[in-house]
A and B are shown apart, each in its own frame.
Chain A
Amino acid sequence: AQSVSQHNHHVILSEAASLELGCNYSYGGTVNLFWYVQYPGQHLQLLLKYFSGDPLVKGIKGFEAEFIKSKFSFNLRKPSVQWSDTAEYFCAVIIYGNNRLAFGKGNQVVVIP
């Protein structure tokens, strides 16, 4: 079964700093990739997704992610974070044609004003 790795579980940075969160998966075939965000006390919500096409995906709130097939990666980026980006971020992978939706362990991001 595919697995998802997210490193650096806790990230602390100042406002206006750039953010990059790594996501690697372990399956060599076609995958669909997602980043979800969970703000304090709220449900998980979709930030962005990749199915096919342009490997650079733009999502909500200024986030983007790049799919690099050769590296089995789907890293999330934001050039300049705000205090309101404080949240937990989860990468998720589903194998194309399969139904097993697997999540990584998440990155707890704290943005200091």
Chain B
Amino acid sequence: SQTIHQWPATLVQPVGSPLSLECTVEGTSNPNLYWYRQAAGRGLQLLFYSVGIGQISSEVPQNLSASRPQDRQFILSSKKLLLSDSGFYLCAWRSREEAFFGQGTRLTVV
């Protein structure tokens, strides 16, 4: 069966520090992968999605970037975090029938 792993679950980082959140999928090949940010009252904001290695579609110009170095690995990064980057980040992979979500990462920038 397919599983999705996202880590860390929580993260506290100082302003100006780099960020790297990792997401990996098991049990499937060539998945469509997504990064979302979830905020109360704002739903799930799509940040990036990828249909294959090295292929990244960016939704919102911001302080974040994404990379897909391997088929089942999707990384969300920042070179210098801002206070406004605080939030709950979700990784997802999609089969034709539905999307499956990771446990999420609660990022607090201090």
> Could you list which residues of chain A lie within 8 angstroms of chain B, going by C-beta atoms?
1, 6, 9, 34, 36, 43-44, 46, 49, 90, 92, 94, 99-106
CA distance A64 to B64 in the complex (A): 37
B7: CB under 8 A from chain A?
Answer: no
Known contacts being A100-B57, A101-B34, A101-B94, is A44 close to B101, with CB within 8 Å? yes
Contacts of A90 in B (CB 8 A): 43-44
* Size of the chain B interface, CB-CB below 8 angstroms: 22
Least distance between A66 CB and chain B CB atoms (Å): 19
| A49 pairs with B42, CB closer than 8 A | no
B103 within 8 Å of A by Cβ?
A: yes
- The residue among B36, B57, B94, B98 with the most chain A CB atoms within 10 A of its own CB is B98
Please name all residues of chain B whose beta carbon is closer than 8 Å to the beta carbon of A99 when the two chains form the complex.
32, 49, 51, 57, 94
Shortest C-beta distance, B66 to chain A (Å), equals 14
Known: A99-B94, A105-B43; 13 extra A-B contacts, CB below 8 A, are A1-B59, A6-B43, A34-B99, A43-B101, A43-B104, A44-B101, A46-B98, A90-B44, A94-B94, A99-B49, A100-B59, A101-B46, A102-B46
